[in-house]
Amino acid sequence: MIRQANQRGYRPALPGIVRKTLVYGERTLLTEFRMRKGSTLPRHAHAQEQTGYLVSGRVRLSIGRRTVVAGPGDSWSIPGHTQHGAAILADSVAVEVFAPVRKDYLPRSRVARRG
């Protein structure tokens, strides 16, 4: 699957945070998050492993018991079922891979859009 860049397809995730599934395969899914300064990603956990890269901005990232301030070029890997969250310290963009695929992040099918 190849998807060319465009500005369509961003969905609200939380106040101040939008996400867009960029591309996905049988086992992995790639998502872009755009986050406004002052927004918060509450601590949570999910079954998928999550590997991320901060493209721009600054976030206070908590994974398990560890908290760090991440800047552009920093990356992380969060094991499945591990509590994590973030405080957005500056407008930021992150790209993350989820494995296995997060079905709740899959784009709606064309059939569902027509219905």
CB distance 53 to 96 below 8 Å: yes
**pTM score, whole prediction:** 0.89
CATH number of the structural domain spanning residue 74: 2.60.120.10
Whether 16 is in a domain gets the answer no
What is the number of domains present in the chain? 1
Residue 36 sits in which domain range?
A: 28-102
pLDDT given at position 107: 84
**Alpha carbons 60 and 22: distance in angstroms, whole number:** 24
pLDDT in tens, 86-97: 999 999 999 999
Whether 5 is in a domain gets the answer no
pLDDT in tens, 57-72: 999 999 999 999 999 9
